[in-house]
Amino acid sequence: MTHIDIYLDASGLDCPLPLLKAKQALNRMAAGQVLEVLATDVGSWRDFEVFAKQSGHTLLLSEEQDASYRYLFRKK
């Protein structure tokens, strides 16, 4: 199991707010720390995949469960 350093609940927020909040959280974190994000915006699935590729942060997990999306990022 991965240790979560920061938890961000972006449920109920529409695009682009989940991604914006995640970026802000990652900016405040130290390298190697893990951010968990919960979102309900279906567009977050694509947004977070693209963000991980462009930013260099590692997307450790992306899963959908009961109309919610959970992501784990390791900061580069």
Q: Tell me which residue has tokens 């695009």.
A: 15
40 with 68: CB under 8 angstroms? yes
Catalytic residue selected from 13, 15, 29, 60:
15
Catalytic residue check, 15? yes
Find all residues with CB under 8 Å of 47, minimum gap 6, and list them. Answer: 15, 16, 18, 19
Active site residues: 15
